[in-house]
Amino acid sequence: MIRSNTFLDEKKIHLVFEVSLWFKAVFALSEMLAGVAAYFIPPQLFLTLVLWVTREEFVEDPHDFVANLLLHTVQHLSIGTREFAAVYLLGHGVIKLWLIVGLLRERLWYYPISIVVFGAFIVYQLYRYTFTHSIWLLLITVLDVVIIALTWHEYRYLRNERRIATAGS
């Protein structure tokens, strides 16, 4: 009886893990697109786009947190920051997508590599946060911490299951 409850719990955790990976994959693709856009789209066009997207929100509430955050972010993008964001987003997205594909394919060697790489991203994001104080970096970091915890759990579970299967053969 305990085994079946544990199995159901593991299935739920695995489902959460897979859903979070798919969410992270979509996010990685959007990072890649944002990186390309940040590099090729002129800052004035970004400002125009943000003003267009947030105009109704500013009419309703001129102090709206998200709208003001977006406007402030776009207004203070230097060329160096824009180029950094473009390279970082594109590289971050490509690496994450490569790791996610390996994790979804349940290749055991991807798990420790993913934990190390996501951990390195966290360290770098926290370092960058000390300069930028960007809420976006904190949100990405929280997601990466959750993914690391789930990846560690999934790795231990799969490794154990494969040992049992090998021993039973």
Confidence at residue 2, expressed as pLDDT on a 0 to 100 scale = 45
Handedness of CA 73, 134, 140, 130 (dihedral sign): positive
> pTM (2 decimals)?
0.68
Give the model confidence (pLDDT) of 116-148 as tens digits: 999 998 999 899 889 888 888 888 889 889 889
Give the model confidence (pLDDT) of 87-108 as tens digits: 888 998 999 999 999 999 999 9
Letter for the amino acid at 68? N
